[in-house]
Amino acid sequence: MNNYNVVGKRIPKLDAAQKAMGRAEYIQDIKLPEMLYGKILYSRYAHAKIIKIDVSKAKALPGVHAVLTGEDVPKKMVMGFYKDNPPIKKGKVCSFRDEVAAVAAKTPEIAKKAIDLIEIEYEELEGIFDPEKAMEKDSPLVHEYHKSNVLKLPWKLHYGDVEKAQKEAAFVVEDRFSTTWVTHCCMGTSGALALFDAYDNLTIYSNTQIPSLAQKDFLEALKAMGLENKRARVIKPVIGGAFGSKLDTYAYEHIAILLAHKCRKPVKITFDRVEEFKATSTRQPAIMHIKQGCDKDGKLLFRDIKMVLDNGAHTSWGATTPSVMMMPITSLYRVENVRYSAKCVYTNNTYAQAMRGYGNPQATFAIESSMNMLAEKAGIDPIEFRRINRNHPGDITPQNFKITTCGLDLCLDAVEKELKKNGSNEQGVGIGIASLIHVGGGARIYKSDGCGAIIKMDDYGKVNVFTGGTDMGQGLDNITAQIVAEELGLLAEDINVVHTDTDVCPWDVGAHASRSTFVAGNAALGAAKKVKKKLLKFGSKILDAPAEDLVLRDRLIFVPNDPEKSMPIDKLLRKTHFSPGGTMLMADCFYDPDNENLGQDFKGNMSMTYTFGVHGVKVKVDEETGKVEVLEYVAAHDVGQAINPLLLEGQVYGGVIMGLGYALTEEVVHKNGEIMNANFRDYKLFTAKDAVKIKAPVLETADKDGPFGAKGIGEPGCVPTAPAVANAIYDAVGVRIKDLPITPEKVLAALKEKNG
Amino acid sequence: MTTNISFLLNGDEISYEVKDHWTLLHLLREEMGLIGTKEGCGNGECGACTVIVDKLAINSCLYLAVEADGKTIETIEGLASTDGTLHPIQQSFVDNGGIQCGFCTPGMIMSSKALLDENPKANREEIKHALAGNICRCTGYIQIFESVEAAKEPVVENPVVENKGGQNE
């Protein structure tokens, strides 16, 4: 057992009191002198030519400071990694969320009125809304210049020999699964506030998970505007939830920048809820064909998966989710022969983005549903089937992932024990499980997977940590504070974590891939170790004791069992400043994990370590109505080491409930590209009434590379939820639902088909 | 059109000339600068804007400001003591992980307060019912329920024990 003073403790979130008092300032709460309100006009069609735009009436409205159309956007200002998305469209619209104009006005009311006064003449074009049809030769093109609706992306791998393995397999199953659009539903809607100083330097307040990369995007935007060699400062207000939605930069940010520059005043754009549903991105919808086979003893021999992903009209990170889907496809359980390909296809629907799990929930839905089907075919208990094939520490998977710690066996045991505690033969009641693998030690998506941290100690025993990591509610500030406090012998409350401003915070690639505890945590730990060394060296001089005998704990520096040699840390700190030849106690650390980019063959140890988990669920299916009730839920994770169990449980509970929404209720309903349920009445999130009992056993395998042994746990909670539920429904009533969400209608239809 | 209204806000007597189309949320946030009350949907669906009017939790985004005339209104800003001590419900949300991103928090706490003021011994089902109109995307609600339960008046026979983690609804 470890003997930590701060790490591993249930320390409440350091900003919680501020939030509980209503004092936290979100983008909605920020007002600056002379600030104008921006508003965006969206397309009225899924696919249309813009014939004419008349903004004269809007411009003439008193209180309107600027009106922009696509003509006002610099040619080189294009968003997304595929560079197919200008912030305001010109000539043609390709989806209902396409921006066609924007205004800045004195009040939100005037801005809205001005938007309504913009007259646009469209010529409607035939739309394409089904990605499989969009791949056909004579399909309308979403972007004529692209020549094809299929994006030029490299998602294809084949390890081992799937054809050969298939011939050798004793049991094979094959099926088609699909997942639909779901969206983040951050309670704080999106928004940005941009302003320029007298020298054309930009400051932008924005809800972002990627301050450093956003800064790069905004600098490119400035360059496109002809503003070379300027500064872009990104300030993050308190973020009202993110879940991946803020992993890219968006039209509203670029439009706020354009408006602010044109008006020479601060311009703020905040979304209302309808806009949040219609103009922010979704999880990537997927159509998945999967074939798996095992030998007569249940050893998995091959996995063969083909996917078609609906890219929507423009491209953001959703189109790169196959790179993460590869992880469960090649590495969840031991399987030597793997083939995978995915096509991302333009349609006139909304476009997808990162969302908690980044492709993993989709792929795991297909894999873990299929695993149960294969287990059944082979006549093996589904839990036993997973034990036969589970990953082991020391494994190197076909994608060259190096499995270091792996508590999958412990998780299987914990879930089986819980689920089988209260056996039930009740009609319509069943249990299901599903496992997960996820990156837990960073993820080298970019050339760097690094994060910087700077630590500054003051005269009073307090510490400022300037980190590149982003707290968006998940609690990274606490994790950082607890790690630093542990190392420096202080209390968590002595540590102030600053993560809000690119002018003072070091670089980081962003809060994604469950990487913050591991990477930002290790960066903070690295800086703390350097400060500690200085502190001990100075303490050794002042207390006249060898540095190696000194201990830092409970705000004291002391030699154990020697009451003479003890001093409060703050007193020692003052001496560092008020002594001849004084010094400052500061240190920095840039931690870039020793993981690898995926190569051209997609092989490479993407993460320093991998997080494993198993979810188990007991459901009751009402065969009259098709309604699925979740009776019990157990979500076991191997987290390496819990830095803060209170926050860890919050991540798991929140992830599971989000995952249950994915499994059972959530869908952004599209009709010919138009979103039909842009509100919380019709988009069915789990409410307090729907919340279920969750047990969350935490298994600690003390990963050697994690800060104090920790692995990432931000996303796993929602990864295997849907297949666990689907497997439980099958166990309960013998129908397998292969398309999410598993609505009562789908269950009833399947029951009807089964019962004839 | 404007109307002069008077109301009691967090114990202070307030007179205000309000436009007839203003919501109470608009009055609080945009006119009076009380940013603690949040707008999550503007449509009465998410509960982020919950305040207490004459002991009832209401969505201030659907409540016209003129209707506040003569009423007693409590907002999140009025809960903590003037010496800075948090209200027991606020403290309980802090201690029990009831807060992540915090955007739903003021509304959650106000709904919880209206419930516990009315029914200090509310059980889990009653808590779930009272919070059914407050959406949270971060927590999965579980630690919110625990927060409300821990803020209840202590019952001697069944003392509130420290959550040992991971084993509670």
Give the chain A residue whose CA is nearest to the CA of B144.
A688
8 Å CB contact of B39 and A10: no
Give the chain B residue whose CA is nearest to the CA of A633.
B169
Check pLDDT > 60 for residue B168. Answer: no
Counting residues of chain B whose pLDDT is more than 90, the rounded percentage is 89
Mean pLDDT computed over A360-374: 98
8 Å CB contact of B137 and A243: yes
Check pLDDT > 80 for residue B33. Answer: yes
For chain A, what is the radius of gyration of the CA atoms? 27
Check pLDDT > 50 for residue B166. Answer: no
Q: How confident is the model at residue B156 (pLDDT cuts 50, 70, 90)?
A: low
The distance from CA A398 to its chain's CA centroid, rounded to whole angstroms, is: 25
**For residue B167, what pLDDT is reported?**
45
Domain coordinates in residue numbering, chain A: 16-23+450-591, 31-125+190-270, 286-444+598-755
The region of weakest confidence among A329-343, A721-735, B149-163 is B149-163
8 Å CB contact of B137 and A689: no
What is the layout of strands, in order, in the sheet containing A551-553? A551-553, A556-559, A562-568
CA distance A350 to A310: 9
**For residue B155, what pLDDT is reported?**
58
HEC string for chain B: CEEEEEEEECCEEEEEEEECCCEHHHHHHHHCCCCCCCCCCCCCCCCCCEEEECCEEEECCCCEHHHHCCCEEECHHHCCCCCCCCCHHHHHHHHCCCCCCCCCHHHHHHHHHHHHHHCCCCCHHHHHHHCCCCCCCCCCCHHHHHHHHHHCCCCCCCCCCCCCCCCCC
**For residue B162, what pLDDT is reported?**
47
Mean pLDDT computed over A661-689: 98
Distance from CA of A679 to the nearest CA of B (A): 8
Q: What sign does the CA torsion over A215, A218, A223, A224 have?
A: positive
Q: Of A358 and A422, which is predicted with more confidence?
A: A358
- B contacts of A475 (beta carbons < 8 Å): 100
Q: How confident is the model at residue B124 (pLDDT cuts 50, 70, 90)?
A: very high
- B contacts of A639 (beta carbons < 8 Å): none
Q: How confident is the model at residue B164 (pLDDT cuts 50, 70, 90)?
A: very low
Check pLDDT > 60 for residue B163. Answer: no
Domain coordinates in residue numbering, chain B: 2-75, 88-151
Check pLDDT > 80 for residue A243. Answer: yes
Closest CA to A431 of A631, A229, A163: A631
* Topology (CATH) of B2-75: Ubiquitin-like (UB roll) (3.10.20)
Q: Environment class of residue A71 by beta-carbon count within 10 Å: exposed (0-12), middle (13-18) or buried (19+)? A: exposed
Q: Out of A20, A239, A240, whose CB is closest to B94?
A: A20
Four-point Cα dihedral A416, A418, A423, A427, nearest 10? -90
Residue B52 backbone phi and psi in degrees, to 5: -105, 125
Report how far apart, in Å, the C-alpha atoms of A575 and of each of A6, A556, A583 are: 26, 14, 9
What would the CATH number be for the domain defined by B88-151?
Answer: 1.10.150.120
Mean pLDDT computed over A567-592: 93
Check pLDDT > 70 for residue A45. Answer: yes
What would the CATH number be for the domain defined by A31-125+190-270?
Answer: 3.90.1170.50
**For residue B169, what pLDDT is reported?**
40
- A contacts of B96 (beta carbons < 8 Å): 12, 646
Q: Choose from A19, A113, A644, A721 for mutation: most chain B CBs within 10 A.
A: A19
Task: Take residue A443 and report the two structure tokens written for it.
Answer: 């993820």
Q: How confident is the model at residue A421 (pLDDT cuts 50, 70, 90)?
A: confident
Closest CA to A265 of A539, A63, A490: A63
* Topology (CATH) of A286-444+598-755: Aldehyde Oxidoreductase; domain 4 (3.30.365)
Check pLDDT > 90 for residue A425. Answer: no
- A contacts of B101 (beta carbons < 8 Å): 186-188, 238-242, 472-473
Tell me the DSSP string of A401-422. -B--S--HHHHHHHHHHHHTTT
Decide if A16-23+450-591 and A286-444+598-755 have a common fold. Answer: yes
8 Å CB contact of A10 and B165: yes
**For residue A461, what pLDDT is reported?**
93
Q: Out of A185, A474, A680, whose CB is closest to B100?
A: A474
- B contacts of A9 (beta carbons < 8 Å): none
Q: How confident is the model at residue A1 (pLDDT cuts 50, 70, 90)?
A: low
Mean pLDDT computed over B4-22: 98
Provide the mean pLDDT of chain B: 93
Mean pLDDT computed over A423-428: 85
Residue A340 backbone phi and psi in degrees, to 5: -150, 135
Q: Choose from B22, B104, B123, B142 for mutation: most chain A CBs within 10 A.
A: B142
The CATH class for the domain spanning A16-23+450-591 reads alpha beta
8 Å CB contact of B43 and A688: no
Mean pLDDT computed over A67-72: 98
8 Å CB contact of A695 and B138: no
Mean pLDDT computed over A707-724: 97
Give the chain B residue whose CA is nearest to the CA of A653.
B140
What are the start-end ranges of the E strands in A569-609?
Answer: 586-591
